[in-house]
């Protein structure tokens, strides 16, 4: 129906001959219909008038006349020296087109037909697209080169032999039982969280865990607390499920529960990264933990503990899981293997209170099915043989060294007046900037010189964003960190003493 090649789009048009309607009107109408139908999509470049005239069997003047008409209608756009394009919003009716000017978001995105309201919310969140090749100082990326690929492949080879006969019909949506057992064991040892294998629900990662939990435990419009600043993936998953997101401020002791109680709506669900707040690195203090659990138990709120990197605490073990202190069983614990192993493994888990097991299992089965059986089998073996624990220990040592290298590099290039960084955990440090700095623009400028940072201010919602840059160190060798570090000197004029809570 639509031919397209290097020369541009040559849509097929319907022309009746003879007809009482002039040919240029027939062609224009045919193009309008094609655009409305979606056969001709916004943004496409049309072939030249010469080619179209030949393809359509009309004179070149006719084509030019059609172009002029449709440009006037806003359906086509003419770019001098470049050609004629189908307008991005060609499909909208003229009034809507006039009113949505600029609203459609980035110019590469079409105006959408009839998404649901919840679909539009999903679309309004940023698309992270294909993960980029890691380069300094990308945060949230583990050292991909350290992944024990050989022992992983060896295990893959071993376990895949078991993948025959009945095993191929699948497993429970809650996951492969030996993996659930291994995780229950791991969590009860490393996080002091007593649980049975039944309570472990294997997911394809934290986003799925958040999605499931916020659907099962909160309805559209229910207030849900999240940290401010906080993880954008959390924001996106909650927004997608229609949450009334209440941002609760974070300081050096983590989420400020008293401020939440005072200023936010009473929540149905509270998302908290207690062991290490993202992105500030704050650890929820004992009194805050107590206040949070007491509040949840008193009001009946649920808690999701996003335990995304408690295994990367360098100086001392992380504080125990909230659930270990939670007498009311109101905590859903969420762990991931994306930070300790690799993101592409797509495995994470939830530890849910006993009485929520059927709901979570059912929800998985109805909306997603189980995670990759093969990878669950390999991971179970890794955990049972101690390979996983050994890898995590190795990574802890490696990251701790890399954090030291990064901090020295920062001091070297930005002067020794920069604040002491929190160096006990995580995969990034936060470099605080003066309030007059524009961290988004600075990050862009640094990206142009080849180094990648994440600005701090977008993690805030509401008026009081701090300026800063997240610098990741986990995925990079010391020499990569020191080499890239030279470019940080461009920040010299913007560095500020740390604010509390962003150490």
Question: Which of the 8 DSSP states describes residue 171?
Answer: -
368-407 binders of a second copy (CB under 8 A) = 368-375
For a second copy, give the closer residue by CB, 287 or 344.
Answer: 344
For a second copy, give the closer residue by CB, 181 or 370.
Answer: 370
212-231 binders of a second copy (CB under 8 A) = 215-220, 222
220-279 binders of a second copy (CB under 8 A) = 220, 222, 233, 236-237, 240, 268
Show the 3-state SS of 345-357. HCCEEEECCHHHH
Candidates 317, 298, 223; CA nearest to 267 is: 223
109-168 binders of a second copy (CB under 8 A) = 109-119, 122-123, 125, 127-134, 141, 144-145, 147, 149, 153, 156-157, 160-161, 163-168
For a second copy, give the closer residue by CB, 209 or 455.
Answer: 209
Distances (CA, A) of 9 to 43, 44, 399: 11, 7, 52
Q: How far is the CB of 492 from a second copy (least distance, A)?
A: 31
- Region near a second copy per CB under 8 A, out of 49-57, 280-288, 358-366, 424-432: 358-366
Label residues 265-293 b or e (16+ Cβ within 10 Å = b): eebbbbbbbbbbbbbbbbbbbeebbebbb
Residue 308 CB neighbours (<10 A): 25
Q: Are 218 and 239 in contact (CB under 8 A)?
A: no
Candidates 204, 224, 206; CA nearest to 214 is: 224
Q: How far is the CB of 421 from a second copy (least distance, A)?
A: 25
Of 7, 8, 29, 36, the one binding a second copy by CB under 8 A: 36
64-93 binders of a second copy (CB under 8 A) = 91
For a second copy, give the closer residue by CB, 378 or 466.
Answer: 378
Verify binding: residue 477, a second copy, rule CB under 8 A.
Answer: no
Verify binding: residue 205, a second copy, rule CB under 8 A.
Answer: yes
Spell out, one character per residue from 280 to 319, where the chain touches a second copy: x when CB under 8 A holds, - when not: --------------------x-x-----------------
Distances (CA, A) of 463 to 227, 228, 233, 256: 14, 11, 20, 17
Between CA 467 and CA 461 the distance in angstroms is 13
Between CA 287 and CA 426 the distance in angstroms is 23
Q: How far is the CB of 96 from a second copy (least distance, A)?
A: 13
Residue 171 tokens, joined? 């497993």
38-57 binders of a second copy (CB under 8 A) = 38-39, 41-42
Q: How far is the CB of 134 from a second copy (least distance, A)?
A: 6
Residue 390 tokens, joined? 């050994």
Verify binding: residue 96, a second copy, rule CB under 8 A.
Answer: no
Q: How far is the CB of 106 from a second copy (least distance, A)?
A: 10
Between CA 92 and CA 77 the distance in angstroms is 15
């Amino acid at each position: 129906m639509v031919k397209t090649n290097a020369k541009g789009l040559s849509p097929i048009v319907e022309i009746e001959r003879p007809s009482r309607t002039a040919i240029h009107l027939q062609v224009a109408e045919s193009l309008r219909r094609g655009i409305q139908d979606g056969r001709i999509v916004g943004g496409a470049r049309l072939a030249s008038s010469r080619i179209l005239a030949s393809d359509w069997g009309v004179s070149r003047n006719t084509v030019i006349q059609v172009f002029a008409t449709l440009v006037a209608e806003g359906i086509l756009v003419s770019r001098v020296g470049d050609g004629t394009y189908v307008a991005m919003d060609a499909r909208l009716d003229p009034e809507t087109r006039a009113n949505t000017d600029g609203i459609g978001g980035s110019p590469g995105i079409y105006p959408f037909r009839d998404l649901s309201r919840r679909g539009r919310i999903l679309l309004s969140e940023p698309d992270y697209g294909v993960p980029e090749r890691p380069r300094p100082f990308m945060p949230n990326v583990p050292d991909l080169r350290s992944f024990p690929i050989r022992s992983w492949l060896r295990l893959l080879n071993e376990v895949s032999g078991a993948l025959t006969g009945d095993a191929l019909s699948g497993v429970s949506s809650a996951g492969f039982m030996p993996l659930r057992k291994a995780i229950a064991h791991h969590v009860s040892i490393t996080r002091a969280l007593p649980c049975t294998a039944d309570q472990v629900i294997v997911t394809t990662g934290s986003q799925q865990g958040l999605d499931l939990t916020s659907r099962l435990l909160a309805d559209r419009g229910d207030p849900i607390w999240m940290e401010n600043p906080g993880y954008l993936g959390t924001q996106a998953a909650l927004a997608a499920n229609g949450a009334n997101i209440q941002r609760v401020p974070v300081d050096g002791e983590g989420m400020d529960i008293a401020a939440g109680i005072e200023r936010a709506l009473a929540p149905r669900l509270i998302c908290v990264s207690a062991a290490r707040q993202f992105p500030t690195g704050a650890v929820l203090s004992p009194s805050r933990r107590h206040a949070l659990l007491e509040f949840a138990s008193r009001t009946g709120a649920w808690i999701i503990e996003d335990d995304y990197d408690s295994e990367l605490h360098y100086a001392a073990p992380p504080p125990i899981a909230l659930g270990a202190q939670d007498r009311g069983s109101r905590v859903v614990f969420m762990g991931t293997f994306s930070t300790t192993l690799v993101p592409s493994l797509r495995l994470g888990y939830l530890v849910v209170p006993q009485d929520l097991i059927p709901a979570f299992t059912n929800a998985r089965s109805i909306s997603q099915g189980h995670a990759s059986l093969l990878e669950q089998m390999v991971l179970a073996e890794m955990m049972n043989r101690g390979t996983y624990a050994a890898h995590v220990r190795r990574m802890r040592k490696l990251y701790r060294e890399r954090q030291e290298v990064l901090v020295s590099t920062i001091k070297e290039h930005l002067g020794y007046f920069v604040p002491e960084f929190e160096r006990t955990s995580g995969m990034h440090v936060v470099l605080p900037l003066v309030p007059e700095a524009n961290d988004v623009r600075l990050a862009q400028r640094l990206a142009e010189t080849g180094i990648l940072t994440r600005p701090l201010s977008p993690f805030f919602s509401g008026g009081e964003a701090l300026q800063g840059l997240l610098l990741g160190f986990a995925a990079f060798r010391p020499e990569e960190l020191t080499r890239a570090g030279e470019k940080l000197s461009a920040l010299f004029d913007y560095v500020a003493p740390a604010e509390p809570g962003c150490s």
